[in-house]
Structure 1
Amino acid sequence: MDTIKIANAPCSWGALEFDLDAKAPDHLQVLQEIRETGYVGTELGDWGFMPTDPLALRAVVSRYGLDMIGAFVPVALADGTAHEQGVADALRVAGLLAAAGYRDAFIVLADDNGTVAERTNHAGRVTPDMGLDDRRWETFANGAMRIARAVHDRYGMRTVFHHHCAGYVETPDELENLLSLTDAELLGLCFDTGHYAFGGGDPLEGITKYRDRIWHVHFKDYDPHVGEQSRVKNWDYFESVRQGVFCELGKGSVDFANILDVLENIGYQGWIVVEQDVLPGMGAPKECARNNRVYLQQLGI
């Protein structure tokens, strides 16, 4: 599987898009530790986490021998009034990446996760009545397409959608609905194994089902015992993360060996981004990153 390259991302160090009290390490520490633990790429992190001047961004990422492969852009897509700002935010990020020479990087589009109380409080156990009606699904899909089209038309760059717990596209049915409403030529899928599992799906089944739509992959493991505790104790999304619902690779229920077989069989030649979402100040990110890289090496990549 020589064509697949392995990256990590700032979220594994607690650098998240959410407005949280604790402080994450700075980008220099994160980039250095990504490289020291055996990865060759990174995602951008939230706007402002890394330099927003393209020359400075290129210089610091290159200093650590890394490639920049994507940037997470959250937009409240179910709210039509948020679309214009969403386009502007995506174009700002895409413009930075393009000017820094990273035109092959993806805009990783997602819902504005963690902002709707009902979805955040019931992450991992949402029911259909907590979802969107047909009108809002149309709004959501139109917003995603509008952003993907703007990024492509302005910079020739590609957009993938990231399904994510604590947002409106969490469950397998919700992901299926969004993909059925959007253009497969314009909007790809960032398949996240951990979020798919926490959202109630089987990641091996999902990655097999959407093999033709997947342009980008996030490897994240899921601890079903923590997931069950989340259901029993009614934890919200952030408490579930704090309790370790996304564990080190190989310590949860995700069947990475067979998922890699699927990726090899379809000739996947993109990136795998290891993400072990933690809250700021939580755990030992560098140690976990190293353990995750060793685990993947044991699987042959």
Structure 2
Amino acid sequence: MEKIGVANAPCSWGTLEFDETQKQGLVIPWRQMLDELRATGYEGTELGDWGYLPTEADQLVAELRKRELTLVAAFIPVMLRETSALRAGLDLALHIANLLAAVSRISGAAWRPLLLLADENGGDPLRTSCAGRISPSQGLSAREWRIFARNSETVARMVYETTGLRTAFHHHCAGYVETPEEIARFLELTDPNVIGLAFDTGHYLYGSGSNEPGLIEEALRRFDSRIWHVHFKDCSPAVAQEARAQRWDYFTALRHGLFCELGQGAVPFPTVVTWLQLHGYQGWIVVEQDVLPGMGSPYLSALRNRQYLRNLGL
């Protein structure tokens, strides 16, 4: 890519908890989501939860072409700390990677979608209840770290060998790689030629246990060449502070608007954009609002976020 692409994702339209919202009849239809995503000025989308967008490559390509959209990436949560769970996670990753590869091949798009591998966030009660204020004692043991890193590389290698697609690891609150030191440890234990980092600004700031904006630029410098993908997510310092003081779990913090619209929180996006441009970043940035049903209009939120990015030169 010659410029930074600007994309959005289904989670910004309230499909963050797809299985539960489907049961409640609250899911915004995928055609409406794609129409609104394009109408608000975005050029690409992530896949979202499996089964939300079409899972037949020909149909998905046709729908993306109608709207001149690029399929950018797909987020895949896997329980990586237990070898016994790897088979199921690997099967899911390959299943989704095969769809991404088929879409790329049929569409002829220059961009090759990324697989965004993450720990199974929200699956561990301790990590979920303490997200945003994780202490070292709540982390993985040395043995678990070795298993976690090895399993992550196994998924990335198999995806590449099977489809030719690359994998970036997405650190995530309420998962086992959340804090700055946990991210650094993961990168130390994994091969930079095998797996990169999907850097999420909002998850990084909340996961740091601080509201200090300077931590974001520090992270960009620290992780530099490992950053293959970027999620633009803001973090409300007021909600983050209350969440830590009240000891809310991750999902309670989300429902209170932890990840606010761009420019309304503590993430220094002008600094992030400048850094990406100066360092020749040639991938996509993906806006993720994490809008839950009932939290306002996804269309208007996406529109405001896109205008904010235009004002920053994107």
TM tier, shorter chain? over 0.9
* In structure 1, C-alpha distance between the alignment counterparts of 2:16 and 2:79, rounded to whole Å: 17
AA in 2 matched with 1:35:
R
**Aligned-residue CA RMSD (Å):** 1.5
* Alignment match of 2:290 (pick from 262, 277, 295): 277
Which deviations, in whole Å up to 9, do the C-alpha atoms of 1:178-217 show, x marking residues without a partner? 1100010110110000000000162221112111111110
AA in 1 matched with 2:163:
Y
AA in 2 matched with 1:196:
Y
- Shift in Å at residue 296 of structure 1? 0.6
Structure 2: gaps of 5 or more residues? 106-110
- Shift in Å at residue 244 of structure 1? 0.8
The TM-score with structure 1 as length reference comes to 0.97
Indicate the larger mover: 51-60 or 22-31.
Answer: 22-31
- Shift in Å at residue 264 of structure 1? 1.1
- Shift in Å at residue 18 of structure 1? 6.2
2:104–2:113 Cα contact (<8 Å) kept: no
2:189 matches 1:181: yes
Counterpart position of 2:132: 124
The TM-score with structure 2 as length reference comes to 0.93
2:57 matches 1:57: no
Task: For residue 294 of structure 1, give the secondary structure of its aligned residue in structure 2.
Answer: helix
Which deviations, in whole Å up to 9, do the C-alpha atoms of 1:77-106 show, x marking residues without a partner? 011111111111111001011112267000
1:44–1:68 Cα contact (<8 Å) kept: yes
Task: For residue 20 of structure 2, give the secondary structure of its aligned residue in structure 1.
Answer: coil
* In structure 2, C-alpha distance between the alignment counterparts of 1:219 and 1:209, rounded to whole Å: 18
Counterpart position of 1:162: 170
Indicate the larger mover: 17-26 or 68-77.
Answer: 17-26
* In structure 2, C-alpha distance between the alignment counterparts of 1:18 and 1:210, rounded to whole Å: 31
Counterpart position of 1:258: 271
* In structure 2, C-alpha distance between the alignment counterparts of 1:139 and 1:16, rounded to whole Å: 28
* In structure 2, C-alpha distance between the alignment counterparts of 1:28 and 1:265, rounded to whole Å: 37
Counterpart position of 1:12: 12
* In structure 2, C-alpha distance between the alignment counterparts of 1:28 and 1:231, rounded to whole Å: 38
After superposition, residues 5-44 of structure 1 pair within 5 angstroms as 5-16=5-16, 19-21=19-21, 22=24, 23-44=26-47
The list of structure 1 runs, each at least 4 consecutive aligned residues, that deviate by more than 6 angstroms after superposition, is: none
- Shift in Å at residue 278 of structure 1? 2.1
Which deviations, in whole Å up to 9, do the C-alpha atoms of 1:101-146 show, x marking residues without a partner? 2670000000010111111111101111111100111111111000
2:164 matches 1:151: no
Counterpart position of 1:235: 248
Q: How many equivalent residue pairs? A: 301
Structure 1: gaps of 5 or more residues? none
2:49 matches 1:46: yes
* In structure 2, C-alpha distance between the alignment counterparts of 1:237 and 1:18, rounded to whole Å: 17
1:224–1:253 Cα contact (<8 Å) kept: yes
Task: For residue 211 of structure 1, give the secondary structure of its aligned residue in structure 2.
Answer: helix
* In structure 2, C-alpha distance between the alignment counterparts of 1:76 and 1:189, rounded to whole Å: 18
- Shift in Å at residue 295 of structure 1? 0.4
- Shift in Å at residue 280 of structure 1? 3.1
- Shift in Å at residue 75 of structure 1? 0.1
- Shift in Å at residue 268 of structure 1? 0.4
1:108–1:160 Cα contact (<8 Å) kept: yes
2:204–2:216 Cα contact (<8 Å) kept: yes
* In structure 2, C-alpha distance between the alignment counterparts of 1:232 and 1:279, rounded to whole Å: 23
2:76–2:117 Cα contact (<8 Å) kept: yes
AA in 2 matched with 1:165:
C
Change (3 A) 1:77 1:14: same
AA in 2 matched with 1:289:
A
Counterpart position of 2:108: none
1:193–1:218 Cα contact (<8 Å) kept: yes
* In structure 1, C-alpha distance between the alignment counterparts of 2:19 and 2:104, rounded to whole Å: 29
Task: For residue 108 of structure 1, give the secondary structure of its aligned residue in structure 2.
Answer: strand
* In structure 2, C-alpha distance between the alignment counterparts of 1:132 and 1:243, rounded to whole Å: 29
* Alignment match of 2:261 (pick from 242, 245, 248): 248
